[in-house]
A and B are shown apart, each in its own frame.
Chain A
Amino acid sequence: MAAVTTSPEVTGVDTQQRAGRVAKVVRAIRELPLIPLVVLIFLLVIPAIFANQLAPHNQRIGVLDDAKLPPFWVSESFESRTVVQRADKDRLDVEIGLTNAQRKVERGEATILSGGEDGTVDPGDTLRFQANKGGSMEYPLGTDKQGRDILSRIMHGARISLMVSSLAILLGGGLGTLLGMMAAYRGGKTDAIIMRIVDIKLAFPSILLALVLVAAIGAGFTTVIVVIAVLLWARYARVVRGEALAIKQQDFIDRARVSGASNARIMMRHIFPNLVNTVVVLATLEVGHVIILESTLSFLGAGIPAPTPAWGVMVADGRDLITTAWWIFLFPCLAIVLTVLSMNLLGDWLRDKLDPKLRNV
């Protein structure tokens, strides 16, 4: 049909093409996994960069008087108990001992509901007092047992998570990529040795290796990064080696060699650019994994040391208070889950776009 058309139609084809290009861009934007991206930007990236400006309170030093305040939507609760001479241990939810009651009234913490007309507390009176303090917008997500603002700590924790995961992946991924490329390119003994080490590394349960390493070097920020990098490199090496082997077979590598390119040049200029997609996709898929590893190590006391607000440390802080102050452990838990979930969704999407082969890795 196009062959018999006149010039206006030709420009029509041109605009169609242009429209096709626009449609492509629109489609690409529409296919972007929006929710995970938004969650990541607001939960991880913005707090990580602007933690100092955004955090409403100091993340390390708390106000002890404000310890264990609940999140803002929890209002204060009251309890009524009957005053008895000596409270029965099994009935503490309805009874209160006389001395204890008198102390509470003196401090103004309790009011006498009935029977207190004479102004003193006697057995048989009913006492009403504050059981739990209420939350306020001062501390939107509540405070921990040292009176530190949970929201501020989660913001600073985002910075730790982002820093640890990017540095560890840079280090481990870089090392793994280099070794994988060398194994594939050099072949022979180099390949055999590198791949044996990879096998042995993959035969070692990762958390245990991490724990033993941390016990050996001593916990700290640098240790965590090094340990996670040690855990990561083997997978990169294996995947990159497989890809690089396929690339090495292709004609342009032979031609580069014939034209006199050195081994280093062939690896960096001819093989590596063809691996970039794989490496980027692997890195995105690993971020979630690294955040889980880091928080698990911190939770077990073998990661980031205590006063630093890493999410795992915060969860460990709240663990003992799970019966009385749930917000201390729950919010950092949710921060980890949401971040990792979004990162995984983003990684899946990127893999399908850039390197669908990796689906089985």
Chain B
Amino acid sequence: MQAYILRRVVQGILAIFVICTVTFALARVSGDPLNVLLPEEASEEQIELIKAEWGLDKPLHMQYLQYLGKLFRGDLGEAIAWPNSTATELIVQRLPNTIKLSALALIVSGVIAFPVGVLVAIKKDTPFDYGGKLFAILGQSAPTFAVGLILMWIFAVQLNIFPTSGSGGIEYIILPALALGYYNVAALMRLTRSSMLEVLDTEYVKLARIKGVPEWKVVWKHCFRNALIVPLTYFGLIGAVLITGSVVIETVFAWPGLGHLVIKAILFRDYVVVQAVVLLFATAFVIINIMVDVLYAYIDPRIRYT
């Protein structure tokens, strides 16, 4: 088990290192940052001055080493498009918003998906089940921005219950969280349903029934806890969906989080901020994946040896 964890962590660190390199390379290809830093009529001296200030006069591999060195000390660099603020500051400002949104989306998914998944499993082949299937299949087929906009149109424009976009009180976060959680609700619900059906069919459940255990106890105590294992191991996928989804949903609802920030930074060609946010997202993604793999290996020992 230790060897497995070690192997996954080394792989993860390697992945993060490659991601650093790729983002660095791509950010440099994406147009000369000088175009953003300088007005068009800048003189030769001004160009040289700025180049020296940003370290752009050095050869590319030196810039890369410098970037890695700074990164190692936790310095993500000065933002280009946001004057007087560092990338770290920008991220620290917006990170809580993204965490709030993702956490709420996660809670929403769990609270809806598990009970409904159990319900449709018990009521297999009834209208409940078909409704649940339709809901799950729709969740896989609707892009996040479409879900967000349709929810916005129904609940904010037509019914006027929530504000359309922006940030502020609790009423601003509900629609984006629902939209962000929808895909996960669909995926988790399907998984819960199929693993519940499997468990409901086992011998010990039959025995419990024969012994006269009340049906609710059979379902919630004997089955549900065992059925939970499979969906829980899919949290890696869920983390990925939350990260990519938040970029889209924050743009749709003008929610001031990291996704909103990175889209703006790409528009402004602020490679420092793009690098920083992408690195943060990718690191989070890698860590979630390692945690899930380790959890999975803990639950299912066969995984460790493959």
Contact = CB atoms under 8 A, between A and B. Distances in A.
B286 A203 contact: yes
Contact of B251 (A204, A215, A300, A344): A300
Contacts of B244: 205-208
Given A199-B11, A205-B240, A205-B243, A212 B274 contact: yes
Given A322-B164, A341-B138, A295 B15 contact: no
Contacts of A340: 141-143
A25 B222 CA distance: 45
Contacts of A302: 266
Interface stretch (B64-72, B79-87, B111-119, B150-158): B150-158
Contacts of B14: 196, 200
A345 interface: yes
Nearest to B245: A207
Given A315-B149, A326-B153, A333-B146, A204 B282 contact: yes
Interface in A211-226: 211-217
Contact of B29 (A216, A299, A341, A345): A216
A10 interface: no
Q: Indicate the member of A203, A301, A315 with the most B CB atoms within 10 Å.
A: A203
A6 B199 CA distance: 54
Contacts of A315: 145-146, 149
A245 interface: no
A336 B145 CA distance: 11
A216 B286 CA distance: 23
B266 A211 contact: yes
Interface in A309-325: 312, 315, 319, 322-323
Interface stretch (B18-26, B53-61, B202-210): B18-26
Interface string B241-269: 00110011001100000000011001101
Contacts of A301: 267
B144 A296 contact: yes
Interface residues of B, number: 46
Given A216-B27, A295-B143, A333 B18 contact: no
A315 B274 CA distance: 25
A330 interface: yes
A312 B145 CA distance: 9
B30 interface: yes
Interface residues of A, number: 39
Contact of A211 (B18, B137, B262): B262
A216 B30 contact: yes
B158 to A, nearest CB: 8
Contacts of B251: 300
A199 B289 CA distance: 11
B281 interface: yes
Given A199-B11, A199-B15, A337 B141 contact: yes
A203 B285 contact: yes
B278 interface: yes
Contacts of B167: none
A296 B248 contact: yes
Most buried by A among B137, B146, B282: B146
B140 interface: yes
B112 to A, nearest CB: 20
A207 B157 contact: no
A274 B69 CA distance: 50
B157 A326 contact: yes
A345 B136 CA distance: 12
Nearest to B284: A205
Contacts of A200: 14-15, 18-19
Contacts of B243: 205, 208
8 contacts: A203-B289, A212-B26, A215-B27, A300-B247, A319-B149, A322-B157, A330-B150, A333-B149
Given A215-B269, A300-B248, A344-B140, 6 more contacts: A205-B285, A208-B278, A211-B266, A215-B274, A217-B30, A315-B146
